[in-house]
Structure 1
Amino acid sequence: MTPTMTWLQAIVLGAVQGLTEFLPISSSAHLRIISEIWFGDDAGASFTAVTQLGTELAVLLFFAKDIWRIILAWFAGLRDQTKRGLDYRIGWYVILATIPIGVLGFVFKDQIRTAGRNLWLVAIMLILFSFVFLAAEYVGKRDRPLEKITRRDAIVMGVAQCLALIPGVSRSGATASAGLFVGLEREAAFRFSFLIAIPAVLASGLFSLKDVFEPAGEGLAATGPQIVVATLVAFILGYVSIAWLLKFVAHHSMVWFATYRVALGLLVIVLLQLGVIAA
């Protein structure tokens, strides 16, 4: 019988989702780790996907003017070639960048909900991809604003987004690192990272909605009110974290996040080795 989620778990995990979704430290890894350490169980991939709807709502609200302008420009450009400016191109770039994760997410959905939740894998990915972040900071020229983004950049970042299917990698970390590798400014890389996450996360959350009450694979069964509250908490804290992150990355490198990830990954490995938590 599937264990039932408590109200404390729902609120705590919603808060974790909101605080970590946009930081390059992997929200799915934090949900998995905190679930195991604090509650001795796994919240489940479906719960993670559904609460991400709250954080994506925060993105929609935070970037509402930009998103609406891009949508209008995209439709206008379809009708009139003379109106195909930057926003029209970004609209197509978001679509292109979404295709890879849409395909792979559907193909590997069962593995994501089961084997992909293993804490050994999570800890290793936290550590390994920290060095990817450091390499991106070292190699990337960071001399191109969002206005100079190209189709190639969008495809590279879209392929990188697929890595977010592995807990411990981080969607924003993988896509922003890819943006740095191709020469985008750090803030531009993160802004486009947020935009291309919207279709993928909304689709994933809606697709997983039916499973969160009766999890497929590992996971806690949550009630409707618990899901609503957890998603609301994720929305509020997610909005705050977006504003903070964009200000932070304008003046600080990803080294800070890489250091934290390595420390967290090592801590999880030690706890696993000592038998304090189960994989």
Structure 2
Amino acid sequence: MDIIQAIVLAIVQGLTEFLPISSSAHLLLVPVFTAWDDQGLAFDVAVHLGSLAAVILYFRREIADMWSAWWRSVIERRIQDPDAKLAWAVILGTIPVCVVALLIKDLVADAFRSPVVVAFGLIVFGILLGWADWRKHGQRTEYQMRARDVAVIAFAQALALIPGTSRSGITITAALFMGLNREAAARFSFLLSIPVIALAGAFETRGMIVEGVGVDWLAVTIGTVLSGLSAYLCIHYFLAFIKRIGMQPFVAYRIALGILLLVLFW
């Protein structure tokens, strides 16, 4: 892998991991406009590690509070602290996507990788995001979620296994429908990404070890650093952006990208 390829792919992954625009769609477009070979498992692990480091660093104070409150709730066997409730929401909200991934991983790996499926995922779930954002805006924060809210968002996250859906996009959509405000919906989506990215990275690392994949350390280093930096900046500016403007620019972008994929691949 050359340096330019590593830089481009790292930045694309770092940005699209958290923006509601689907990383799978953008990674499909890369080989259309370049002659690059597949980046390989080691690089995939590196960019996921960078994204994971970015979200943990950005929410480090919240995570520290959630961890201590969660631990107290386990010891005291009661959940009263809002930070403990949020920590449990992240844990329980991760279970459905893990179960579904185990059940249909082969289908996701093969049948769902069609560019046409990705295109329709972009358009359909983009319109759904727009509808959720057009509705009356909720006022509740992520600390005010109810069990029903967490369940709906958790099962919505499982739909992100369909390429083109966007994990952040579908979880933000569900949170908006359940009455969270825009910033709260995005923050909870980002917190939910932590166990998902960690588990996906662990799974890819296991595959890399089993296959005995070689490591291009220069590309891996570039991928980790740039994906982490771009992901951190993405989180920061996305939260500020949606507070003023909302989700509509991302909806328009998703629909345009979906149409482009249909033109290219259908």
Compute the TM-score of the two structures, normalised by the length of structure 2. Answer: 0.90
Aligned with 2:60 (options 64, 73, 77): 64
Q: CA deviation at 1:62?
A: 0.2
Task: Give the Cα separation in 1 of the matches to 2:135 and 2:214.
Answer: 44
Please identify, of 5-14 and 52-61, the stretch whose mean Cα deviation from structure 2 is larger. Answer: 5-14
Equivalent residue, structure 1, for 2:233: 240
Q: Is the 8 A contact 2:168 2:190 kept in 1?
A: yes
1:59·1:194 contact (CA, 8 Å) conserved in 2?
Answer: yes
2:242 alignment counterpart: 249
CA distance in 2, matches of 1:35, 1:115: 19
Q: Is the 8 A contact 2:25 2:164 kept in 1?
A: yes
Pair 1:177-2:173 in alignment? yes
1:107-256 equivalent positions in 2, closer than 5 A: 107-139=103-135, 141-211=137-207, 223-256=216-249
Secondary structure of 1:39's match? coil
Structure 2 counterpart of 1:266, from 232, 247, 259 = 259
- Please report how far the alpha carbon of residue 228 of structure 1 lies from its aligned counterpart in structure 2 after TM superposition: 3.2
In structure 1, distance between residues paired with 2:227 and 2:263:
29
On the 8 A contact 1:11/1:229 being kept in 2, the answer is yes
Deviation, structure 1 residue 211: 3.6
With over 3 angstroms needed to count, the CA separation of the structure-2 counterparts of 1:272 and 1:185, relative to structure 1, is same
User: Distance in 2 between the 1:17 and 1:75 partners?
Assistant: 33
Which deviates more, 131-140 or 70-79? 131-140
Q: Could you state the TM-score of these two structures normalised by the residue count of structure 1?
A: 0.86
Q: More deviation in 16-25 or 105-114?
A: 105-114
Greater alpha carbon shift after TM alignment, 203-212 vs 238-247: 203-212
Counterpart in 2 of 1:77? 73
Q: Tell me which residue corresponds to 1:276.
A: none
Unpaired runs of at least 5, structure 1: 274-279
The change in CA–CA distance for 1:231 and 1:213 in structure 2 (over 3 A counts) is farther
Q: Match for residue 22 of structure 1?
A: 18
Q: Distance in 2 between matches of 1:49 and 1:214?
A: 14
CA distance in 2, matches of 1:66, 1:103: 27
Are residues 118 and 46 of structure 1, via their aligned partners in 2, closer, same or farther at CA, if it must alter by over 3 Å?
Answer: farther
Normalized per residue, the structure richer in helix is: 2
> What is the distance in 2 between the residues matched to 1:121 and 1:222?
32
1:169 alignment partner, SS class: coil
2:15 touches 2:227 (CA, 8 Å); kept in 1? yes
* Correspondence 1:98 to 2:91: no
* 8 A Cα contact 1:26 1:169, kept in partner: yes
Amino acid in structure 1 at the alignment position of 2:143:
E
Task: Report if the CA contact (8 A) 1:15-1:233 is conserved.
Answer: yes
- 4+ residue stretches of structure 1 with deviation over 6 A? none
Kindly, what percent of the aligned residue pairs are identical? 39
Aligned residue pair count? 266
Could you tell which deviates more after superposition, 174-183 or 136-145?
136-145
CA distance in structure 1 between the partners assigned to 2:38 and 2:136 by the alignment: 37
Distance 1:72 1:168 in 2: 36
Contact (CA 8 Å) 1:47, 1:212: kept in 2 or not?
no
Q: Contact between 1:50 and 1:208, CA under 8 Å: does it hold in 2?
A: no
Q: Superposition RMSD on alpha carbons, in Å? A: 2.5
- Which string of whole-angstrom CA distances, capped at 9 and with x for unpartnered residues, describes residues 37-90 of structure 1? 323655578854652221121000000000010000011122235772101111
- Equivalent AA in structure 2 for residue 226 of structure 1: A
Cα displacement string for residues 206-248 of structure 1 (whole angstroms, at most 9, x for unaligned residues): 1112445898xxxx98634423321221001110110000101
Structure 2 portions without partners, runs of 5+: none
